[in-house]
Amino acid sequence: MTPYKSALITGASSGIGRALAEALAAPGVTLHLGGRDAARLEAAAAACRARGAVALPMAVDATDAAGMAAWIAGAGRLDLVVANAGVSGGTGIGGGETAAQTREIFAVNVDGVFNTALPALEVMAGQDVGAGGKRGTIAVVASIAALLPTPGAPAYGASKAAVDAWTVARARSAAAAGIQMTSICPGFIRTPMTAPNPYRMPGLMEADAAAGFILRGLARGRARVVFPWWMGLAARIVGLLPFGQRLMASQPGKGALPDRG
């Protein structure tokens, strides 16, 4: 049984966001589901309702600071907030990312996280202590790419490194206020974001399996959850080796910027 009676998830219309929503869905649970694609979002909400949850979809853009703040402030008590909305992109080694791609990726992956986590911190600070002695939990979805610079998708890796470092560093002061903050660093997950990747993806995992790893990591109260563990370890080692960047540069780049839904 989930310890979260109320949760808010961005990027909930597909991939990890939808898988988390369905994993949390149960009678007595209220889910606030955010995303840009209203039709896909309603489909996700319907799947959660079929499991007995109250699912409230909201068409909202994570880069809209005012809109996000209003949505989060109006949601009532929140036991869990997941800043999951994100985009990837890249044009391969040599061509490089365009200026527009770089700005779009940082706007969603960094500003979008802040637009979610900062209002959530304010809301949770005013909540009573609940289950587990916490006022709430905030999970930020980063990536194993945060642990290793990736020449094939520099803005993506850098944006994820930024939110991972911020979340882990902020976790201590948040804990003093009774709020858990956790950075989630998954490897390759089978989602619309990874579908265009023109290369082999070691450890490729289904989204529902990833949701399980995330919820178990949150239950343990960790500041960072990395999975699969061996891929996180490999990323750390390659990043330290003198030839690490040459090895990464030999890999194909990511495809075009996908629709973030």
| Contact status, residue 204 vs residue 228, Cβ threshold 8 Å | no
- Alpha helical stretches, state H, the chain: 15-24, 38-49, 65-73, 99-106, 112-125, 154-176, 207-219, 229-240, 244-249
What is the distance, to the nearest Å, from the Cα of residue 8 to the centroid of all Cα atoms in its chain? Answer: 12
Tell me how many degrees the CA angle 152-153-156 measures, rounded to the nearest 5. Answer: 165
Active site includes 156? yes
218 vs 63, 80, 85, 132, CA distance in Å? Answer: 25, 10, 18, 12
- Of these residues, 156, 188, 213, 227, which one is catalytic? 156
Active site residues: 156
